[in-house]
Structure 1
Amino acid sequence: MKEGDPLRTKALELLPQASGLSVQMARVVLDGMAADWAEDRLLGLLENEFGTSEGLDGFVKQDGCRTMAIGADLCVQIVSGSVPGVGVTALIRSLLTKAPTLLKPGRGDVVLPVLFMQALAVVDQDLADHVAILYWSGGSSDLERGVLDRASVVTTYGGDESVESIRALTPVTKRFVAYHHRISVGVIGSQALTSGLVEQTARDVAYATAVFDQRGCVSPRSIYVESGGDTTPQAFAEYLASALESIENDLPGGHLELEEAAALHQVRGAAELLAVSGSPGGIYHGEKASWTVIFDPDSELRSDHVGRVVRVESIENLSDLIKRLRPEKEHIQSVGVAGMGTDLDEFAEELGRIGVSRIAKFSGLPFPPSRWHHDGGSPLRDLVHWVDLEEVGG
């Protein structure tokens, strides 16, 4: 969406209040998400998933037979509301497979799906007639069961408990695609800690931390810094704090509700107690802003879902990191990297073997490309079923 587009203007007017993001951050999130809704990106996604879109229109030759991908009679998309734009992405994926879709957006992600539908109706009313957007409060079992009974494919995004509750209501005959609770982390090798690079590295990490206010699955909760480099892990925490303070001027954090502010106070208080207890830790945070950097060299991986909280931890080497991450292998999605050098391919393979599905530079971490294998799967192929037509003669 270009500057001055009435749809973009309306979205930016409504998003901050609906999502809790600042006006500046809402602009970054909208532009970053909408980039993958462009025609060329979607055509690239279709090609990446199917080789050609012709297989959605009829039978095509493949491996000695002819095959066709068929979309669902009804795809139900149940989406959490933590990140604006996810609902539109989910809806577009269904439509690309020619599936009529019912979208249940999250409470914080209603604006963009509704505006998308209004725009769709202008250019293709028939296609828009095959989409419904319906919001209801979570836990409405009777309503959800009625919806799920009519679906062919059910896709749900959310925390483990909410995904499990939808799975329990979904008949076993329905295809179920789950995007459950995920978190991301970062790792910084010694090559990115030199005097000429460390400040830029910190700025890149600060950007990845700031986007979405740490609400996204792609948000890095912990940054693992290799010891023995020109910059110590604790010194890097200080660089990161300075970068987060600076980025607050251009991309301020969003509004915290009372419960969120209380949770942030609790997180900071626990870290401050650790710092004054003689443990080798430290905490750096804004006075009025939510950004918080906690240096804790040996802490377990945590998911502080409040404000821009990020933990910095030290590692001796990459093998040490693999050991630390392995217990959380079912929940780690993306890993931001810097300073890996020639070790990157081997390290990426090791990460893949413990469940990581994406490795990216920090500046690209917030917005995966449309073609990415979402949580290790295929975002379109997972929504279709295949029909193979073998040679039957006469």
Structure 2
Amino acid sequence: MASSSLGSLGLWLELRRKRGGRLHNLRLPPGDGPLLILRATPEARIAAGQVLEVLTHAVPALRVLTLGDGGMPDVSDDPTAAPQLLAEAQAQTILLLGDELPVALIHAAQEAGTPVILGQSMIREKRAWGLDRTVQARLLAVPDVICVTDAASREAALGLGIAADRVRMTGPVTEIREPLPGFEAERAILAKMMRGRHVWLATAVPSAEEEAVFQAHLAALRHSHRALLIINPADPAQANDMADRFEAGGLVVARRSADEEPTDEVQVQFADDPQELGLWYRLAPLCFMGGTLSGDDDAARHPFEPAALGAAIIHGPNSARHQTEWQQLSGASASRQVRDADELANAVTQLSQPQQVATLAANAWAVSTGGAGVALDIARPVAERLKRVPA
């Protein structure tokens, strides 16, 4: 009882500190089909598009009112406009996509008895016993269904007292990207040459990370003397100079631009053509994503490129360029993050056996290719509630 009272007090305080204003000239989508109110965070825009595509096929007469789009202001945190919106729109369902919990809209939905579905949600329980935690629990108690992106989010929701049958671990809705082309005939030839070797790829490597990659490969060679590094420099114009420095450091180098192949004595294969990355992703079971260690990420590649082609991924702490995708991979235990050059060397050495990278690679593949299925899982409970009201 004390916890419930504290949650009510926290919610009241949260609403009281927000400014409100009435909506004027509310324009609803035309038609007489069921109305869905959609609110998506910027990070969930991909999810919104895919889920809506499913819903428009499942509910042909569907009308959608998207907050913050098409002249409709986002009133989800407005304690005056949010209940006014629900009263005038008479929406059948509210779909919230993303990590935010808009206090006013959720509270208004509870008061109006409007079903709420929460999707694409990454929940992290606040450890302090205070108003933040109790308000979070109070808000999460409202949605009929909570679709979370990862196991940690499910555990956090359960830890906040949410019933297990209301929490569904769907995974994240991800951008659907076509795999890079792979030149199959050449892949087969190179794969035969590389058979039995510990092969790893460092892609889009800037000069700031050159030494870290060099030292990581020395560590890999100490662990497995036939280890092979395939390196793709961030700036193709710097490839020859970088190759010269690797040779000066005592490594045997082959240059792709000179038609040199990774024969058995070669320790480093330089691959400076970004158009061939699909080939190297298919050949290397382990990939370090350059630019993420130093933050010099102008040429950083999308993490779903190697993920979609079955490579396990190592990355540094600088993930701003593809922040949402890195969060999705991390939440699914689909990548290995390192903090510095020493941790990069350790990771490359530890992930030297096929069975050691299999789980990372499988999880990464599932995240990068599972967008359509996850969108369907989120759309299903929404469609069920929309169809309860005849058009």
User: Higher strand fraction: Structure 1 or Structure 2?
Assistant: 1
TM-score after normalising by structure 1: 0.30
Larger-Rg structure: 2
